[in-house]
Amino acid sequence: MAPQEGPPRNRQDQEGFIFSSECQALAEGMFALRAIRFGDFKWTFHNDYPDVPLAPMYFELRMVRRHLILRNYPVDILQSEARGLTFDMIADVPTAITPTVALLANRLGVGMVSPRKERKGKGSGALVDGFLPEDIGTTVLLIDDVLSRGDSKLILAENLKKEGAIVKDIVVLMDYEIGGRLILERNGYNVHSAFTAKQLLGYLHLSGKISTSKYHKTLQGFLEIRDFFRKVDGNKF
Instruction: Kindly report, residue by residue over 121-133, the tens digit of the pLDDT.
Output: 888 889 999 999 9
The whole-number average pLDDT for the span 220-235 is: 92
What pLDDT is attached to residue 5? 43
H helical segments located in the chain: 21-32, 72-82, 98-108, 151-162, 180-186, 197-206, 212-233
Instruction: Kindly indicate the confidence band of residue 234, based on its pLDDT and cuts at 50, 70 and 90.
Output: confident
* Sign of the alpha-carbon dihedral angle for 137, 139, 144, 149: positive
Q: If we measure between CA atoms, which residue out of 144, 151, 152 comes closest to residue 232? A: 151
DSSP state letters, 19-50: E-HHHHHHHHHHHHTT-EEEEEE--GGGGT-T
**Domain tally, the chain:** 1
Question: Percent of the chain at pLDDT above 70?
Answer: 92
pLDDT at 3 over 80: no
For residues 94 and 4, the model is more confident at 94
At 10, the pLDDT band (50, 70, 90 cuts) reads: low
Split at pLDDT 50, 70, 90, the class of 2 is very low
Residue 2 lies in a domain: no
Counting every residue, how long is the chain?
237
What is the pLDDT confidence band of residue 17, given thresholds at 50, 70 and 90?
confident
> Is there a contact between 153 and 144 (Cβ–Cβ < 8 Å)?
yes
Mean pLDDT of 102-108: 98
Q: Is residue 74 part of a domain?
A: yes
How many Å apart are CA 118 and CA 150, to the nearest integer? 17
Model pTM above 0.85: yes
Domain range spanning residue 135?
Answer: 11-233
CATH of the domain at 28: 3.40.50.2020
pLDDT band at 11 (very low <50, low <70, confident <90, very high): low
* pLDDT of 104 strictly over 70: yes
156 DSSP assignment: H
In-domain check, residue 3? no
Which residue type sits at 177? E
Inside any domain, residue 29: yes
Q: Does residue 159 contact residue 133 with C-beta atoms inside 8 Å?
A: no
Question: Cα(19)–Cα(7) distance, rounded to whole angstroms?
Answer: 11
Residue 210: is its pLDDT beyond 90? yes
pLDDT number for residue 124: 83
Residue 4 lies in a domain: no
- What number is the average pLDDT over the span 185-196? 97
pLDDT at 12: 57
Question: Is 199 inside a domain boundary?
Answer: yes
Mean pLDDT of 1-24: 63
